[in-house]
Structure formats: C-alpha cells, structure tokens
Amino acid sequence: MTFPILRSLRAGRIIENRKPMLTCMPKRVIGQRSFSINVLARKPVPALFDLHPEVAAALQQKKAVVALESTIISHGMPYPQNLETALAVEAIVREEGCVPATIAILDGRVKVGLTREDLEKLAKTGLKAKKTSRRDLALVVSQKKVGATTVSGTMVIAHEAGIKVFVTGGIGGVHRGGEDSMDVSADLTELGRTPVTVVCAGAKSILDIERTLEYLETQGVTVATYGDSAEFPAFYTPKSGFQTIANLESPADAASLIKANAALNLSSGVVIAVPIPVEDAPKDASKIEAAVVQAVKEANATGVRGKDITPFLLDHVKRVTGGESLKSRTDIALVKNNARIGSRIAASLAAQTSLSAGNPASSVSYSERPLIIGGTVLDISARFQGQNGPGGVPTFGTSHQGPCHLSMGGVGRNVAEACFRTGGNPHFLSAVGADVAGDGLLQEMLGEGMDVSGIKRLTGHPTAIYNAFLRTDGNLLAAVADMRIHSAIDGEETARFIRANKPPIVCVDGNLSTKTMQKILEACAEESIPVLFEPTSEIKAHNLFEVDAKVIGASVRYATPNEGELLVMAKRAQTLDNLLTIIPNIIEKRGPQGVIVHQRGTQKSIPPNETLIDCVSVTGAGDSMVGTLLTALAAHHISTPLKNPSAEQLATIARSGMRAASASLMTDHAVCQNLGPWVFDK
C-alpha cells in the first residue's frame, strides 16, 4: 500500500513544508458505493481549503459537524484562557456526538478544523491576528497572514465546506446611530445571502437591537428564539424587550426549520437565538442595561455620532460596571451553553437529513452501531535480499538492499475495517500522532470510506509503528514496536461516549491501559452493554485481569483468544471452567484447525470452511474474523437485547468470521479489500 500523502510528496504536490492536512482526494469506489470528500457541498471544496481529516470524514459520513469561529480565540480573551476555552468548547461539541470545525486562516490556507498546534498558534498570536470578515478573506490569504474569522467570514467558509450549523457567542448588528452612519455589521448582510444557521446568544445591548431585527427581516433572515419564549436575548441578559417571529422548543424543532430553509432553496441563513441561562447571567445585568441607557442619553446630549458611538458606549459601561460584567466568566459560560444547544440541533439535523435521504448506512441510529476501541498502527516490513549469512541472517552494521512495505495495521483498526466492510458501520475510537504517519493512516482509512471521526490526533505522541525485519525467506528476524500512544487513549472520555451513545456491543483490544479498560468496562456495566475482549497477544491477555473482577463479570460477555492467549486467560482464572463463569462466550481461534466455541458445559468445534489454495499472509486474519463477529453480534443484541446467543448461533456467526479470515489469508492486506456482507451468505 502507498499512502496518498506519500504519493503526493513524490508528485511534488505538497509545498512549503506545511503539514499534510486533507485538501482533496480522488473519489474511491468500494463495490457499488462511491465516496468523495465533500458530499454535503454542491461544489468542490476550494483548493485553498484544508479540511481536517476528522471533519472531512464526518462530512463524508453525513455526520453532524459544528463550525466554530476563531475571533473569540484571538480577540475574546487572553492566553492561555483563550486556548483552554477553545478546547473546552470543542469537547462539548464532541460530547454531544458532533465533530467541531474551528475555522481560521493560517499561512495562506483556509483551515476547516484545527489541530492542537493550530489552536495554540492562534491563541498565542492573539490580537495580532487579523479579524477576517468576507471583505478580508482574499487579502489575508494572499498575504499569508494569520486570520481569525468573524461571524461573516466563518459563515462564508462553513458554507463552502458544506457545514450547515455554526455556533458563536453573539452576532454583530446595527450600531446605535446606524440610521445616520450606516454602521451595520457585515454579519447581517452575510446572513442575508449565505444559507448557514447561526446559533448565538443574540446581540449585545450596546447595539440597536430593534433596528438589528428590522434589518435582518429586510434581508429575509429567519430569526427564532430557542426555548419557551420568543423574546430575543441581548447576549448578557436573556431578555431584550423585542420579539422574534417564533420560539423553538427542542433541537428537533430547530432542525426542522433548518431543513425546510434548505428544501426551499433559500439563499439566506437562519439565526437561532439562545438566551443565556439565568444562573450564568451576570448578577449586575440590570446595572449593565441601565448603564447602556444612560450612555445613549449622554451620547445624544454630547453629539457623539457614527463610528465613535460604540467605543463611547463600551467605555461608559465599563466604567459603570467596573469592567467585570463584560468579561471572562460570563463569556465562557455563554459560549459553552451555545455550543451544547447548537450541537444538539446539528445532531438532530444530521439524523433528519439521513432518514429523509433513505441512506441505509447513515440512517442507522447511533445506538445501533458497534463501538470498537483499540490501536491504529503503521506497519512497516523490510525484507533482506541478496547474500546474507547462515539462515538468512544479514551482516549487521551495514545497509542492505530489499523491498519495504507499508500497510495499515493495529488490531483495533483491523477489526474496525472488517466490521465496516461486512456492513457493521462501527464507531472506532483510537489515537494517532500529529505526524506524517498519522495523517497517512487517516487519509487511507478515509479513502476507503471508513468513519475516522473518533480517531484523535495527539501532539507529543508519535503514531504507533510496528517495524518488522524479515529474513530472505520472509520469516521474522526481529521487530521494533512503538505503541506508547495507546496508553494515551482517554478512558474518561471514552466512557462518556459510551454512556451518551449506548452502542449494542463494545469491543476492546488488549493494547489499552488497565486504567482506560477499567473506565470502559465500568461504563458498559452501568449501561448493560456487552463487551467483546480481543486479547491481541499472550502478554496483553493479562491486561484484562488487572481490572476489578466484578466489573469484568458485569460487562465482558465475549472473548476471541487464540490457543496461546486462551491458556494465559484460563491460567489467570485458574481453570477454563472458572473463566467461562466470568466470560460466558469464548470463540477460540485455532488457525488451520478452525474455531472452537466455548460455553459452560459446551464445546463446539467448527472446522475450516475451505482449503486454502495460496496463503499470502496470516496478518489480520484473526482480526478480520473478529470484525465480522461484531457485525453479527451487534445485530443480535439490537434484536434481542441482554440475551446471549446459543452455541449454535455462535457457531453460525463464527463460520462467517472464518470466511472473512480465509479471504484475508489470500491477500497481503490485513483485511481483504473484497470483504463484504457476502460472508453471511450460507
């Protein structure tokens, strides 16, 4: 396999030593399905755009994506508070089952979705970043400046990328005295011509809210309030004294409005105004409003007009309130609340859109998709060639000629691919480094059509690599494995995902740390979700038994060890019978001897389906079987929750898994590229 990123490097398409974020990829075809990067937009993503792989995957899978602006990071608060807030807001979006896409311009590239390094760069640049509205986009890109996008700029980019929902703090408006100065925020004109929904807390009361709403009406923009009242909020206060045309009481109501706006081919956007929760509003809110009223009177009396009036009002309010009411605590709470509501709306919109499109894969409920948690690895094999010493062992201390091969690997990743190819459409939670290897793996998986939105790109951790050195006959001489990143998979975050999405079955591989595994199994036990444990190796088979025994017994219902791994597990439980008391269903992989299904008091041997004509590689065969089992087990637990399959049912499922393993043996890919639901055909 050759990674797209490596092909691009050889073709000279990546320049200026910039990080290989996803720009565009050729359409890939799997069977009868066709995938391209930006399936939601009506036209290709502009060449100047860099879509983060996680964002591109979510758009491709028609999952919910939430756009976030970057001016709040650069100009909203000082470093490091701005970085902490940006990360916290993105985390909230993820908690609600969506993918965050913070938008900014860095080094002449329009970034849709930022890495941790990108966010840090923007946060440290602070006020030196250029506030970028529609007017400024071309200039900032051409001069390769750091651009922090405003509401207007973010809407333009989000629309081009195919993102429908955008969360921010508040929108701009008509400034006081704007009827004379014509000082009207570009946010309002953008809302009149760009079909993106902006979820915000209204407009600040230093603006002319009445004229702001009138202007939006003139622009044809639908403005509605989220909650039990139609009163338009004034950012720091939930009430402005002015009404919108409707109130929306649920995310589904809001999503229906957005969907109808799109169905009518209206070119205008939608504003959904979310009042700040009473508990988060500043205690001196009435004092702020009184200060604004007094400042307006003073401005009129002293002749302050035009561009001078907004700074005058801000200064007056700051003096009256001591400045604290317009700062950090309230701003942060308000943006977080908007992010939570906006993400719920985006998730509801994605679900409604998928169902109406009749898309069988994406219309499957989140709770019907199996969850796989484990390692993603870049496998490198180098085989010595030519004259070597006895037994094919090379002379050390010098270089040798020989073929090198790169491929996607990692037990969790292989299992996820097999599950995907056999129709399971799994969630896959994993981690790669923010490096070339990580980008290559993400792009390759994305090109196959897999959902990579659950794979984190972590800074400070290299992507896991398994580097094998082979003798001239192809047998292993030695290998070096760097799997440290697997210990960075966050158990708390994964447990939150499980509780929020309640998958029908969860698979964990033995690469996970004991601490992470404990958190995952606790969450599954609480939610009565069955767990399948894939030991990975004899050494890692021990990891499960470092978890609290009661938690194992309450969650792990399946295990898929090979013969050696089963011996280790049985020894830890003292006997196989004791092990089956803890884990009631064990599917033992025995290579050319087939499979044995173990249940208490029952053993069922299943011989191989067929004789192999040509075994190319054993790598990934067992993982292919496990992924196929998960597809079938997920379907079983959806139709008959909390019930264990019988030994005969498991044997039927295992036969399908063996077909998948056989297909893998006859290819040099870990998972056969032609694997599909056909494995379940009798």
- Positions marked active-site: 69, 204
Q: Is the peptide bond before 80 cis (omega within 30 degrees of 0)?
A: yes
Alpha-carbon span 165 to 577, nearest angstrom: 54
Helices and strands, number each (H, E), in the chain: 23, 26
Identify whether the C-beta of residue 426 lies closer than 8 Å to the C-beta of residue 372.
yes
- Which helix (H) or strand (E) element contains residue 596? strand 595-599
Give the number of other CB atoms < 10 A from CB of residue 613: 6
Beta strands 270-273 and 602-606, pairing class: unpaired
Give the alpha-carbon dihedral of 428, 429, 433, 437, to 10 degrees: -10
- Which helix (H) or strand (E) element contains residue 5? helix 4-11
Backbone torsions φ then ψ of 393, nearest 5 degrees = -85, 125
Strand order in the sheet with 464-470: 404-409, 377-383, 464-470, 476-482
Place of tokens 């979006």: 93
Tokens of 299: 């401005």
What are the Cα distances from residue 10, in Å, to 15, 53, 446, 487, 576? Answer: 11, 21, 20, 33, 54
- Name the residue among 380, 378, 426 with its Cα closest to residue 402: 380
Identify whether the C-beta of residue 275 lies closer than 8 Å to the C-beta of residue 225.
yes
Is residue 229 packed enough to be buried (19+ CB in 10 Å), middle (13-18) or exposed (0-12)? middle
Alpha-carbon span 534 to 61, nearest angstrom: 27
Q: Any idea how long the chain is?
A: 682
Q: Which residues contact 398 (CB under 8 A, 6 or more apart)?
A: none
Strand order in the sheet with 371-373: 455-458, 427-433, 371-373, 506-509, 531-534, 556-559, 585-589, 595-599, 602-606
Tokens of 586: 């064990």
Backbone torsions φ then ψ of 214, nearest 5 degrees = -65, -40
What are the Cα distances from residue 595, in Å, to 202, 579, 662? Answer: 62, 18, 13
